Chains A and B, each alone.
Chain A
Amino acid sequence: MSAIRDFIGLVGDGVKANQTLWLLVFGFALFPIFTHFADLPFWNDVAMRIMLLGMAAMGLNLVLGYGGMVSFGHAAFIGIGAYCVGISQFYGISNGWAHLGFSIVPCGLAGLVIGYLALRTSGIYFIMITLAFAQMLFFLFVSLEAYGGDDGMSIDRGEFGFIDLYDPLRLYFLIWCALALVSLALMFIVRSRFGVTLRAIKSNESRIEAMGLSPLRFKMVGYVISAVICGIAGTLFASWQEYVSPDIMHWTRSGELMIIIILGGLATLAGPLLGAIVFLLLEESLPMLLGAVAPAYAENWMIIFGPLLIMVVLFGRGGLTGIIDRLSGTRGNADHKAGPR
């Protein structure tokens, strides 16, 4: 009993230290009520995409923001997770839990292998190598004609027993549960001895060596965890979209994940989720805006988005969470002060 009370206490501490994150998570839980009364069910779909994208970005942020490893290949893990659903259905497995289980192992393995090969390098090498491996997997799936190749394969939503995923609300809450669990897990990981060591490696790797620890081991564990989280996001995404194609792991998707993280704020738990919200809202609204102002060019909204990114890099500091912190005058997010509260 006391162990459970202890755990709840830990959760409570964590929530207090990461208010923005949990505000957002609970916001997502309440969102369907709003869309029900406002009769805007389409926005539930958008919210689901945001949650999934945010989840994947949170996974990447573990290694990128907290661990300082600029991995440009994480879309590959989303893709593996998604294809695991398609491929298991191809062989007659329709159980959703099995899909999840199946995607965790290949993603973990891929994370291990790619991590091992890439993490012995750093800097520009690391970025390029992770990008190259992601491309390799992209081409692999393009060439696998049996699983749809370039055209992809359509997917039925997995059977999760009592949870009928064809009911949009149930799908929504399944995704929400995954988001909440991933948030919880990351919250613990980032503040734990492991997480703190990972963050220290980003700060000064040679100091960590001088403490008798092998940085590579920590980086690899972090990398595998982030790969698995992306894989879970991919699995659910495939179910939501009812379709999977190699495009899901095109290298530009990895770029999108990084955009989201930087938009929201590196090395914060809430950042990726915030970034996902802004990113997808921009993606929805820019074409509409452009359509109102210059209808002929509505499809070319990227021409605004591109320079927008450049502006964010040149002039934005700390992303959205940085702005929020400055506006609210607090440091509501990443843990900085040690000692009893």
Chain B
Amino acid sequence: MTLTLILEQAFNGLQAGVTLFLVAAGLTLILGIMDVVFLAHGAQVMIGAYAAAAIAAATGNFYIGLLLAVPVTFASGYLLEFLLIRHLYRRDHMEQVLATFGLILFFNELIRIGFGPAALYSDLPPSLSGFVEILPGTPYPVYRLGVILVGLACAIAIHMFVSRTRIGAMVRAGANNPAMTAALGINIKLLLRFIFAAGACFAGVAGMMLGPITAVQPGMGEPLLILSLVVIIIGGIGSVRGAFIAAIIVGLVDTLGRVFLPAMLRLVVDQATADGAGPAVASMLVYILMAVVLIFRPTGLFPAKG
């Protein structure tokens, strides 16, 4: 258990955290402001990943793939809200679950037809494939560092936008009291569509950046969806700040937990039990954390309402 390993895994945790944040940010607003259980948010991640991979393959340039995939995911979110989601606002949660579940099936199948069921692996351009020394003697992949930086930049941008602009103020008002915001005559329909599209966009960015790290395949978004639901529960529905803090915590706990928990267990119990129980507990760690938070704060750490 060297410093190098700990540092490396901590950075991995950070990277996982910001990725989670990008997915959770949009979802927490969709849940908090529109009160829609939008399960197909994971599909947005997948759309972003495939868009980037496809454009990169077509143009031969990784960066162009990323750049052009952003408006693609924004547009897909915009269209989706316009065609379907806005009809779900008045429905009860179960119907929303069902409809968005149907969306997941549809999108996964669509991708499967279009790109085949096998995973795509994207290549990193040489400029991003190297290592950088975050501390003397501690090399870390340039790309993952890039993901962290992009994620943090997005977080700062979202924060600035939500707290400094007029539209941001409307978003905050919407999260705090949707009915009142609508009553104030703000064009709530357009605002909601924008929020939805922006959320989809950030989820897509997460997907795009994940492409080179994990496999791009149908259904890749679902695990992220579930984990971001955990993030939102811990952070508080409707709170972007809560989503950020919770995402970093969850990313760190999950990554560090998987790597170090089995070893730590060996200090307390015998080898056999530790090796058997270790991975099991590590995989549940995040959910145990969620349960603990729920016992003391049923509405999360930073609830937006009230």
Q: Which residues of A contact B (CB under 8 A)?
A: 64, 70, 72, 117-118, 120-121, 123-125, 127-129, 131-133, 135-136, 139-140, 142-146, 251-252, 255, 258-259, 262, 266, 297, 300, 302-303, 305-310, 312-314
Contact = CB atoms under 8 A, between A and B. Distances in A.
Given A129-B233, A303-B110, A259 B93 contact: no
Contacts of B45: none
A120 B297 CA distance: 11
A255 B108 CA distance: 15
Contact of B98 (A124, A303, A313): A313
Interface string B279-291: 1101110011011
A303 B279 contact: no
B102 A308 contact: yes
Interface stretch (B176-184, B203-211, B224-232): B224-232
B294 A259 contact: no
A64 B95 CA distance: 12
B92 to A, nearest CB: 8
B102 A307 contact: yes
B110 to A, nearest CB: 6
B237 A314 contact: no
A64 B37 CA distance: 16
B101 A302 contact: no
B93 A125 contact: no
A236 B238 CA distance: 42
Given A127-B37, A143-B280, A309-B102, 11 more contacts: A70-B93, A124-B37, A124-B237, A127-B93, A133-B291, A139-B287, A142-B283, A303-B113, A309-B99, A312-B98, A313-B98
B294 A313 contact: no
B137 interface: no
Contact of A310 (B84, B93, B112): B84
Contacts of A146: 276
A70 B107 CA distance: 24
B124 interface: no
A312 to B, nearest CB: 7
B102 A310 contact: yes
Interface of B: 31, 35, 37, 84, 87-88, 91, 93-95, 97-99, 101-110, 112-113, 226, 229-230, 232-233, 237, 276, 279-280, 282-284, 287-288, 290-291, 294-295, 298-299
B113 to A, nearest CB: 5
Contacts of A143: 279-280, 282-283
A136 B283 CA distance: 8
A303 B106 CA distance: 5
B98 A259 contact: yes
Nearest to B106: A306
Contact of B298 (A125, A297, A309): A125
Given A129-B233, A302-B106, A303-B106, A251 B226 contact: yes
Contacts, number: 127
A149 B139 CA distance: 34
A132 B289 CA distance: 11
Nearest to A149: B279
B283 A139 contact: yes
Given A143-B280, A302-B105, A303-B110, A125 B233 contact: yes
A70 B294 CA distance: 18
Contacts of A127: 37, 93, 97
Contacts of B91: 313
Given A128-B232, A143-B283, A302 B108 contact: yes
A306 B102 contact: yes
B109 A136 contact: no
A300 B237 CA distance: 35
Given A121-B299, A262-B94, A310-B84, A139 B284 contact: yes
Contacts of B104: 306
A123 to B, nearest CB: 7
B162 to A, nearest CB: 21
Contacts of B233: 125, 128-129, 132
Given A144-B280, A313-B91, A117 B105 contact: no
B95 A313 contact: yes
Given A309-B105, A313-B95, A313-B98, A131 B226 contact: yes
A136 B280 contact: no
> Which of A143, A145, A312 counts the most chain B CB atoms within 10 A?
A143
B95 A124 contact: no
A314 B87 contact: yes
Contacts of B99: 309-310, 313-314
Contacts of B109: 300, 302-303, 306
A252 B233 CA distance: 20
Contacts of B105: 302-303, 305-306, 309
A134 B232 CA distance: 16
A121 B106 CA distance: 31
> Which of B99, B232, B299 counts the most chain A CB atoms within 10 A?
B99
9 contacts: A129-B233, A135-B226, A143-B280, A258-B98, A303-B105, A303-B110, A305-B105, A310-B99, A313-B88
Nearest to A114: B291
> Which of A64, A121, A127, A262 counts the most chain B CB atoms within 10 A?
A127
A258 B93 CA distance: 11
B93 to A, nearest CB: 5
Contacts of A125: 233, 237, 298-299
Nearest to B233: A128
Q: Give 6 nearest A-B pairs by CB, closest first.
A: A309-B102, A306-B106, A306-B105, A136-B287, A303-B109, A139-B283
Contacts of A262: 94-95, 98
Contacts of A142: 283
Contacts of A129: 233, 290, 294
B33 to A, nearest CB: 12
